[in-house]
Amino acid sequence: MAPVAPGAGTPTGTVTFALSGGGGSTTVPVAVDGTARLTVDSLPAGAYSVTATYSGDANFASSSGSDSHTVNQAATATTVTSDT
């Protein structure tokens, strides 16, 4: 998120991130640098649509945008040993 002309200053407020496929939604505050971030570390592999909705404040209008993301399955290795 960044100001778009004629906007100036740093946005405040919140951003709600919504994930399709049962990912739910989470609202986070806009940081002092005007950014909002969400880290999710427990999604199963698959395709997701992510929508971010900015609440707006006295100087910036509310807005939203969407993008698609794919979570890939992590590579694994299995080792079998025997103590015989």
- State the pLDDT confidence band at 75, using cuts at 50, 70 and 90: confident
Length of the chain counted residue by residue: 84
How many Å separate Cα 65 from the centre of its chain? 11
Beta-bridged to residue 54, according to DSSP, are 15, 63
Q: For 33-54, how does the pLDDT look when each residue is reduced to its tens digit (9 = 90+)?
A: 999 999 888 888 889 999 999 9
Residue 67 pLDDT greater than 80, yes or no = yes
